[in-house]
Structure 1
Amino acid sequence: MAETFNFELVSPERLLVSETVTEVVIPATEGEMTVMANHAPTMTTVRPGVVAVKTAAGNTERYAVFGGFADILPTGCTLLAESAVHVDELDSTVLENRIEAARAELEGASDEKKTRLEQLVAELTKLGEIVIPA
């Protein structure tokens, strides 16, 4: 049996997950990151994407996150999300509104901010393709 660790997914609105898990896949800024028990201590930023949580019971739950930070220790992982919902609760209208807001902000933005906003639009679009059926 795989070793377990404590995982919490927290957004400003609520605590979405607080349980013992065997594995968590995080959409870290530098790429997908799998966290397991006894992981080296790490802090990373989280980009918009899907967090996959494999519970000790063997079930996998998926959550859409819209950025944040992950604090990883050998005994646990806490992901502080800017916003997060279970993928079953993700509304395509909400996602489209986020994309449109980022596109609107592009107008008149500095070059540095434009690059970040273009990346955000791409990440949100990819998130929609992953979790919302066509």
Structure 2
Amino acid sequence: MATFQFELVSPERLLLSRPVEMATIPAIEGEMGVLPGHAPMIVALRGGVIRVQENGAETEALFVAGGFAEISAARVTVLADEATPLASLSRAESEKRLAEAEAALNAIPLTEPEAKRDAAMARVLAMQAAVAAAGAA
């Protein structure tokens, strides 16, 4: 089957770089499947799980807290804010981080710029997705 190069980069390091048959990414607009020959685009990511398929089976599942993906016909590069293998995602830690994100959002005064509240809300949503992903793992 045809493949494309998939790369997942976090701020700390390159996490994954190899040819894959398909990747499913959590785009802001919704789950998005990418196959070889996909139309070029750049998409924003929300908190969710990236799933990679090779030889007809899922070989990787990684939680990302947001970021961007650059897609071309022969390559997908994901620049993730943070990335964790799904098997390493702790429900207790995710719930703790969700509570911290909610507290940070609630502590922002209404006089602050809307962009600051939007960023804090995006973090809350990402941590909600982490809790859900950890519960499903």
The TM-score range, normalised by the shorter chain, is 0.7 to 0.9
Q: Which AA in structure 1 matches 2:100?
A: A
Secondary structure, counterpart of 1:24 in structure 2 = strand
Paired positions, count: 132
Map of 1:50 onto structure 2 = 49
Change in Cα spacing, 1:96 to 1:131, as seen in structure 2 (3 Å) is: closer
Give me the CA root mean square deviation.
Answer: 2.0
Instruction: List structure 1 segments (4+ residues) > 4 angstroms apart after TM superposition.
Output: none
| CA distance in structure 2 between the aligned counterparts of 1:82 and 1:131, rounded to whole angstroms | 18
| CA distance in structure 1 between the aligned counterparts of 2:46 and 2:5, rounded to whole angstroms | 22
Structure 1: gaps of 5 or more residues = none
CA contact (8 A) 1:16 1:85 kept: no
CA contact (8 A) 1:49 1:124 kept: no
Map of 2:71 onto structure 1 = 72
Q: For each residue in 1:3-46, what CA deviation from the matched residue of structure 2 results, as whole angstroms up to 9, or x when unmatched?
A: 21000111112222111111111101111111110111100111
CA contact (8 A) 2:91 2:134 kept: no
| CA distance in structure 2 between the aligned counterparts of 1:45 and 1:94, rounded to whole angstroms | 25
Identity, in percent, stands at: 39
Cα drift, residue 129 of structure 1: 1.7
Map of 2:92 onto structure 1 = 93
Map of 1:124 onto structure 2 = 127
Q: Which AA in structure 2 matches 1:108?
A: I
| CA distance in structure 1 between the aligned counterparts of 2:9 and 2:45, rounded to whole angstroms | 13
| CA distance in structure 1 between the aligned counterparts of 2:136 and 2:8, rounded to whole angstroms | 24
Map of 2:16 onto structure 1 = 17
| CA distance in structure 1 between the aligned counterparts of 2:98 and 2:36, rounded to whole angstroms | 35
Map of 1:114 onto structure 2 = 117
CA contact (8 A) 1:26 1:34 kept: yes
TM-score between both structures, scaled by the size of structure 1? 0.86
| CA distance in structure 2 between the aligned counterparts of 1:86 and 1:48, rounded to whole angstroms | 13
Structure 2: gaps of 5 or more residues = none
